[in-house]
Structure 1
Amino acid sequence: MKIGIVIPAHNEEEYLNACLQAVQNAIMQLNHVVIDVVVVLDNCSDQSLSIVKDNHMNWLVCNYGCVGQARDLGIRHLIAQGATWIACTDADSCVDLDWLKCQMYHLPTDAICGTVSLDNMNHLSVSTQRRYSEHYQDRMGHQHIHGANLSFSAQVYTEVGGFEPISCHEDVSFIQKLILKKYTIVWSNLVRVTTSSRLTARAPQGLSHFLIQLEKLTDSI
């Protein structure tokens, strides 16, 4: 087995170093497994590249302005390098120490949808915090899909055509294709990632957008 880890980034200098350190710590928990990491720098104009270099990680540069295309670029690059299992996270997220070990625990399977925890909810209203907690299923068998915590077989990725070139919900679209073709998916809360609760969205309909909508519900009451 060879694992490939893909991290798309668009101007993430505030979070990227912590992300890469967490990934490196998770890699160190696995022995005798070859692991390649690639950061896909999509239309970056900040210090993201310098941070990647400082962490001695590999990178690709593109100007898609599209997370679906950026993920796909990194994944296909790693598959061409021989990766048989792909693990995705995001540049504003920190994987748990046993992130990779727990993925290995669930094998064999075609894909794993992990959970995310918010890094800080103090800037959110009490009502938003409550609504989010009521909405989120932090349990085995949950039905959440996060590009920040998604892993799958390279063979399956190729067979279904990979991520769509869309700016948001490329992760949902991908998993829906797997469900339609009856691939095996593990919905795990053992595979965990902590992600930013910022309200400045990178993806137009992503987690930040969801939190903003919850805040608007609070304002309307």
Structure 2
Amino acid sequence: MALPVAPLAAYAFLLLWSAVPFAPAEPVLLTGGAFAGSGGLILPFAILAAAAGSLVSDLAKYALGRSAGPRLLARIARHPAGARAVRWIEGRLVASGPMVIAPSYFVPFGVVTATILCGALRMRLRIVAVASAVGALIWSTVFLGLGYLGAAVTGNPWFGAALAVPAALVIGLLAKRKVVRDDAAACTCEPAPAQHEEPCPLAA
């Protein structure tokens, strides 16, 4: 099946969509990878376009973190998954520094939290950019690769993208389980809170 737009426009769309902060880009990547699998796009070019856009998005969130980090993190923490992501990122930021951004790409709310927190803590931009570039390349390779494999199996880009969706969901669920498990372990190991503090919700 032919690509519905010119390849250059498709690469530009991958780049621009991935550059939009807070926009869910995984469905776009799965579809782009599926069209690469059917011959409409060149997979390495698609990966580079998506990774470049995601890097721009990360740097924008880093800048937001520098100007309004605590307020943004408080809004993220209103969601249960967001609160877990904030605790998970904070727990690894001391040991890993900005490199926590790379694995956070696969955690719900993870890369948003990590880049905003790096900005709020005024971490060095160069190190944040390197960590974001590594994470963006891995993330774009995984999701575009899933779409590519789906199209290679089905011979149709739309069927290939649909086939890749369950695999992408499994990755998300595994990442979420890892965060929940780590968060529960951290809450269990923490000393009992004082009476004026709220207990960790996962420790119950």
Same fold (TM over 0.5): no
Structure 1 or 2, whichever has the larger Rg, is 2
Query: As a proportion of its length, which structure holds more strand?
Result: 1
Q: TM-score, normalised by structure 2?
A: 0.31
